[in-house]
Amino acid sequence: MSSVSLPHDHAIAVGADQIDFMGHVNNAHYLSWVQEAVLAHWRHIAPPEAVAAHLWVALKHEITYRRPAFLDDQVIATVILEKVQGARAFYETIIKRGEDVLAEVKSSWCCIDAETLRPARLASDVVASFFPAEKV
């Protein structure tokens, strides 16, 4: 795949249980947000039978924190699937509050067969559904 997928926005609720001793969201919660957003993107676009047959596990996260998030902030995680290579998917996630970028995350994920729990390549038609510009 030579181009990236269309962006997918995922709303995030900032709860009191995510606030640390400094009065802002603890950094560890950003990784949970990335997981929520990536999986929501998968469920939104992939066919139901592909969703049922595959699981995803994180392999790597590289996160750059820009600004803190606070209780009751309206936060959006925008995920972009950059490429699929074998059983791996590479995502960029931008976490924002309004126009303020709170964090930028590069992550890689491994697709797992839900029955065997072994790495699994996605069918080409499933991958193509994430890259609509390349269907032309």
For every one of its 136 residues, what pLDDT tens digit does the chain have, with 9 covering 90 and above? Answer: 447 788 999 999 999 999 999 999 999 999 999 999 999 999 999 999 999 999 999 999 999 999 999 999 999 999 999 999 999 999 999 999 999 999 999 999 999 999 999 999 999 999 999 998 765 4
Range of the domain at 35: 8-131
In a domain, 1, yes or no: no
- CATH number of 108's domain: 3.10.129.10
Has residue 2 been placed in a domain? Answer: no
* DSSP result, 42-92: HHHHS-HHHHHHEEEEEEEEEEEE-S---TT-EEEEEEEEEEEETTEEEEE
Reported pTM? 0.91
Measured distance CA(113)–CA(117) in Å, rounded: 5
